Structures are given as C-alpha cells and as structure tokens.
Structure 1
C-alpha cells in the first residue's frame, strides 16, 4: 500500500507539528511545576520561621503598599490553605506532564515509523 507523496508530506508535517507542540508544552509545564514547588518551599520556610517566634509576637501581612497586623492563627491557616492548593495544582500538572510525554513519545514513534516505511 503506497501513500501519495502529497498525503505523506501533509501527514509528516502534522505529526512534526504535534511533536514540536508537545515539546513546548512539556517545557512550559516543567517551568510551572518548578515555580509551584518554589512557592511551596517559601511557604514552608515562612511557617517554620513563624513557629520559632514566641506566641505573643505581632505578625503583619502586606496589603497593597501597607502592612496590617493579623492574628498568627490566620497566617498559619492561610499558609496551609495556599500550600494545599499548590500541591493540588502540582498534581494536575504532573498528570498533564504524563499526558504530554505520552503524546510526544507516540508522535515520535509515528514519525519514525512513517520515515522507515518510506525508505523501504
């Protein structure tokens, strides 16, 4: 079975664009995961630092260009909530990464199979 050259060329271009898109998306997803992990690490360090302070220490949060005194419990609650949200986002990014890597792998295999069959 022989595929016409125009159809083969169009198929190759489509698979190649899928490979390139997958590579780009993998890079973007890795960068997002790195950023989220960095944010989690910052929250953990902040929580650890707050844990070393005496209970009566005043805590302030930035609001726009000013700082407002807030109860320490609300800061702890905000940190744990943000940390949980970030961990959830990382899980979804990991799933997306697995999907993108599978798409990339399958596209590469299809491209190689077509190129090998074209030589034979």
Structure 2
C-alpha cells in the first residue's frame, strides 16, 4: 500500500515537472493576467495593443508640441538666447526624434508579435 502511495506521489511530481517544462501558448502577460483575474488572452492582447497605440500617439504628440515650440521660439527670438543656441537645440531635437523612432519601431514590432 505504501508503495502505491509513493508511486502515485512520484507520478504526480513527474507530471507537474513535465507541465511546468512544457511551453504554454500565448504571451507571459496574458497567462499571468488569466491566473490573476481570469481574463482571457484575447481581451488582454486587445488591451495591450490599445495601450501601445495610445503610447505611440502620446510620443508623436509630444514630438509635435516640441517641434512647434522650437519653431516658434526660433522665429520669435531673433538674436535671443535660443536663436544663438538654435543649431544645437535643433540638432538635439532631431537626434532625439530619430532615437524615439527607432524605439517606436521596435516597440511596434514587439506589440505586433504579442
């Protein structure tokens, strides 16, 4: 009888290890949210993609506002402090914009594969 209990316990442990080692389908975030709140994978992925779109629009909106601010102050302050440093400010803005676009491209690819 004790041998049967040991064998059953051993079999349960082996099954648990196999299940833990097997690759579960879907994303890690979706699986964790499913375990935490019971959300299905489709709704989690939809929410993540919506949030990603919002992040992209916020980043592009920030760039637009920064561009308009720089354009206004470059034209309004001819001879002021900003126009004296304007080439450096514009170069920094363009470099920052290019860096953001690289990160956005990677971010979009990551979200597309989610």
What's the TM-score once normalised by structure 1's chain length?
A: 0.46
Q: Which has the higher contact order (CA 8 A, sep 6+)?
A: 1
Larger radius of gyration between Structure 1 and Structure 2: 2
Larger proportion of strand: 1
